[in-house]
Structures are given as C-alpha cells and as structure tokens.
Structure 1
C-alpha cells in the first residue's frame, strides 16, 4: 500500500492550476446541495465514471467543504499520477486481499485522527450508465469501525448540452450513519448503500436530461 504524503502548500498551490483547468475543460459545474457536511470528519462516497472525479473532489473541498481530505485511489493510477499523494491520495490494490485490508485500516486511522476520507465503492471507473453500480463492502467495513462518522453520498453526471464543452452535474445527498441502515449484515448494508447511491445518481440524470437547472448553482461561475 502506498500511503499519502500530503503537503499542505502543494495542496493550496494546486488550486491555482486546477481552477483554470476546469474552466478550460467544462462549460459549467452544476451543483445541488453542495454544502459543508454536518460534522468533521466524514466519509464521502461517489460513483466513479471519469478520471475527473478525483479532481472534482479536490475542487469542491477547496471551495466549499474545507476538510482535511484523503482519497483512496487505485494503485496503478496513483503510480501513474504520483502527485496525487501530495494532495492526500493513498493506494489500494484490489488484486491482493492483504493490501485491501491494509488500505481500509489506513483509512480507519485517518478517520480516527480527524481526517475526511473519500471512497469510490465501485472500485474502478465504469460508464456512468452502468447498472448495477457494483459496490464493494469496504464502505461498510469502515462504517462498522467508525459508526459515529457520517457518510455523505455524492453523485457525478457528465453531459453535453448546448455548448462546445461538457458540463458536470453534481448532487450531494443527506448524510447517514450505520445506525440509519435497515440491514444488519455487511452484505445487505452494502446493497442498501448501493441502492441509495443509484437512486441519487438516477435523480441527477433526470435533472440533466430535462435540462432542469433551477435548483443548481454553477460553481465555476461563482469562483470567477
């Protein structure tokens, strides 16, 4: 497992690179419900369909949440983009069960020390229309060990509308804890979380297809 090597000056300076990059790449970042979570730390989870997802988390954190975030990232991707370590990324190798456990234990230590952790429970990038999402049980493992830390679900949906560049639609759902789940087994709890995330993603897709921007704020424009 590759641990994070967060450098706070790098984290702060990266914003000077990231914000112009996002403006060059997207016509808008449309967010609904994007607000500071009810407590600190939290576990963020999201669907994973694009390389941009991680960068969007860093953008949202720098502009809205302002947490000390650390992100679980596939080992191959972290080796390829090693600078993510300086932003708080740490690796997981799902081909090795011992490495999976080591990464989850590392995430648990981060949470217990007051850090916020970002997980992509799908484990890899898949097309945003793929169903089922196929969540792994890592999220419920962490929730069992940190039952008082809330989970905040985020959804990303990438779409072209009437501009040359695409938009990103983003929806932040209400926080929940282990005690809020109706299921008692880890397997069923994982299914329940996946169903919740699927419903939220499908709701976001509905807004995008209907071009219903009334309840969304363009976070790119807000940062100009």
Structure 2
C-alpha cells in the first residue's frame, strides 16, 4: 500500500498549473448546490468515469470546501501518476485482500486525525452511462467504523453541447448521517448509497439532456 505524502507547498504550486489548464480544457464547470461543508471530517463518494475526477475534487476542495482531503486511488494509477501522492492520494490494490484491509485501515486513521476522505466506491473508472454502478463494500466498512462521519454524495457528468470544448456538470448532494442511510450490514449500507448516487447521477443526466442550467453556477467563471 502506498501512503499519501501530502505537501501544502506542492498543492499551491499545482493549483497555479491546474486551474489555467482546466479553463483551457473545459468550456464550463456547471455546479449545482456546491457549498461549504462545516462538518470535518467527512467522507466524499462519487461516480468515477474519467481521469479528471480526482482533479475536479482538488479544484472543488481548493475553491469551496477547504478540507484536509485525502483520496483513495487504484495502486496502478498512483504508480503511473505519482504526483497525486503530494495532493493526498493513497493507494488500494483490489487484487490483494490484505492490501485492501491496510488501505481501509489507513483511511480510518485519516478520519481519526480529522482529515476528510474521498472514495470512488465503483473501484475503477466506468463509462458514466453504465448501470448499475456496482459499489464495493468499503464505504459500508468505513461507516461501520466511523458512524459519526457524514457522507457527501458527489456526481459528475461530462458532456459536449454547443462549444468546441466539453463541460462537466457537478451535483453535490445533501450530507447524509449514518441514520439516514438504509440498512444494517456493510453490504446493505453500501447498496443504499449506491441507490442514492445512482438517482443523483440520473437526475443530473436529465438536466444535461434538457440543457437546464437554471440552478447551476459556472464554477470556472472568475468572480
């Protein structure tokens, strides 16, 4: 298992590189209900369909949430993009059961230390239209160990419309306490959150198809 090696200095420098890159790469970041989260720590969960997902979390945290955030990342990808360690990424190897346990225990330690954790419960990148999302039970494990920590569901949807560049639509769902998540066992809790995130993602997709930007704010636009 590869631990995070977070560097505030690297974060500041990386933001100076990344934010202009995002503005060159995307036409819009259309965000709905993107707001600060007073509870710290928190567990963020999201669908995973693009390499950009982790960088979107960095952008949102840097500009809105401002948590001490760490992200679970597949070991092969972290080995390929080692700089993510400096942004708070740590690894998981799904092919190694002992490594899975070590990664989940490491995530527990981060939460105990007051740091927030990002999980992609699908485990790998899948096309955004694939259903079901098929969550692994790691999120259920984390809730069992830390029932006091709220879960923040985030959904991303990438799309082309009428401009040369793509855009990403982002929905931040309401914070969920463990009491609001149906089920008793880890598997049941994970399945409940899978339904929550699926419904949120499908609703976001409907907004995209209808081109309904009424409630959305362009997060790339400089105030």
Which category describes the TM-score, using the shorter chain as reference length? over 0.9
Q: TM-score, normalised by structure 1?
A: 0.98
Instruction: Please say if 1:164 is aligned against 2:164.
Output: yes
Q: Provide Cα deviations, 1:144-167, integer angstroms capped at 9, x if missing partner.
A: 111001000000000000000001
Structure 1 unaligned blocks of 5 or more:
none
> Mapping of 1:93-104 within 5 angstroms?
93-104=93-104
3-state SS of 1:111 partner: helix
Aligned-partner Cα distance in 2 for 1:88–1:188: 29
Aligned-pair CA distance for 1:13:
1.3
2:46 maps to 46
Aligned-pair CA distance for 1:41:
1.0
> Mapping of 1:39-188 within 5 angstroms?
39-188=39-188
1:9 maps to 9
1:23 maps to 23
2:192 maps to 192
2:204 maps to 204
Aligned-pair CA distance for 1:103:
0.2
Q: TM-score, normalised by structure 2?
A: 0.98
2:215 maps to 215
Aligned-partner Cα distance in 2 for 1:89–1:32: 26
- Count of paired positions: 223
3-state SS of 1:123 partner: coil
Q: Provide Cα deviations, 1:176-202, integer angstroms capped at 9, x if missing partner.
A: 122222311221211111000000000
3-state SS of 1:221 partner: coil
CA RMSD of aligned residues (A): 0.8
3-state SS of 1:222 partner: coil
Q: Confirm or deny: 8 A CA contact 2:182 2:188 kept in the other structure.
A: no
Aligned-partner Cα distance in 2 for 1:78–1:182: 33
2:37 maps to 37
Aligned-pair CA distance for 1:38:
3.6
Q: Provide Cα deviations, 1:50-91, integer angstroms capped at 9, x if missing partner.
A: 000000000000000001000000000000000000010000
Q: Confirm or deny: 8 A CA contact 2:155 2:171 kept in the other structure.
A: yes
Aligned-partner Cα distance in 2 for 1:80–1:166: 25
Please identify, of 185-194 and 48-57, the stretch whose mean Cα deviation from structure 2 is larger: 185-194
Aligned-partner Cα distance in 2 for 1:20–1:180: 39
Aligned-pair CA distance for 1:12:
1.4
